[in-house]
C-alpha cells in the first residue's frame, strides 16, 4: 500500500531511523564487547531485528507501507561500523544498563510518533516495531535479573 506522508510524519520517521541506526550500532559493538555468551546472543538477535526495523522505516519513508508478519525479522545486511566503539573494558552490567536505557527511550519515541500519524496502517506498523522494542527491553531486564544485575524490590 502506498501512503503520502506529511512533513511532520516524515520528520518523526527520520528521527526513528536515526534511533534504529544507533540501536544497530550499539548491539553490533556490544556483541563483541560482552563477556557472557548469553548476552552476546541477545545482542546478535536484537541487532538483526533492529536492522529489520530500519528497513521498515526506510520503506515508510519511500511511501510504502510494509506488511507486518508477527515474529518475523530480517536483516538488511547493512554494516554500520563507521561509528567509534566504546572502550572494550566495559562490564556486561554496563552494557545491559546502556541497552535497557536505550530501549526505554526508543520505545517512548515510538509511542509519541504513533499518535502523530493519520494513517491507521502506518500506526499499526509503528506499533508493531514498538512492541518489539519493548520485548528487547524485557529480554535485557530478564537477563540482568537472572545475573543479579537488576534487583527488583
11-67: pLDDT as tens digits: 999 999 999 999 999 999 999 999 999 999 999 999 999 999 999 999 999 999 998
pTM surpassing 0.85?
A: no
Residue 126 CA to residue 112 CA, distance in Å, equals 10
Q: Over the stretch 88-109, which tens digit does the pLDDT of each residue have?
A: 589 999 999 999 999 999 999 9
Residue 124's Cα: distance from chain center in Å?
Answer: 16
Q: How many C-beta atoms surround the C-beta of residue 127 within 10 A?
A: 16
Structural domain boundaries enclosing 14: 7-65+86-146
Count the domains in the chain.
1
Q: How many C-beta atoms surround the C-beta of residue 76 within 10 A?
A: 16
Q: Which three cell numbers stand for residue 153?
A: 524490590
| Residue 92 included in any domain | yes
| Residue 79 included in any domain | no
Domain CATH code at residue 47: 1.20.1260.10
Amino acid at each position: 500500500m502506498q501512503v503520502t506522508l506529511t512533513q511532520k510524519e516524515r520528520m518523526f520517521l527520520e528521527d526513528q531511523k536515526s534511533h534504529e541506526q544507533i540501536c544497530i550500532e550499539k548491539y553490533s559493538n556490544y556483541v563483541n564487547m560482552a563477556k557472557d555468551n548469553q548476552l552476546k546472543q541477545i545482542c546478535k538477535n536484537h541487532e538483526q531485528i533492529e536492522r529489520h526495523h530500519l528497513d521498515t522505516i526506510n520503506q515508510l519513508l519511500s511511501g510504502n507501507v510494509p506488511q507486518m508478519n508477527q515474529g518475523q525479522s530480517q536483516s538488511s545486511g547493512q554494516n554500520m561500523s563507521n561509528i567509534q566503539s566504546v572502550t572494550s573494558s566495559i562490564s556486561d552490567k554496563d552494557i545491559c544498563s546502556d541497552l535497557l536505557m536505550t530501549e526505554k527511550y526508543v520505545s517512548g519515541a515510538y509511542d509519541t510518533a504513533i499518535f502523530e500519524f493519520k494513517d491507521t496502517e502506518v500506526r499499526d506498523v509503528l506499533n508493531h516495531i514498538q512492541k518489539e522494542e519493548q520485548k528487547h527491553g524485557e529480554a535485557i531486564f530478564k537477563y540482568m535479573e537472572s545475573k543479579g544485575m537488576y534487583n527488583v524490590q
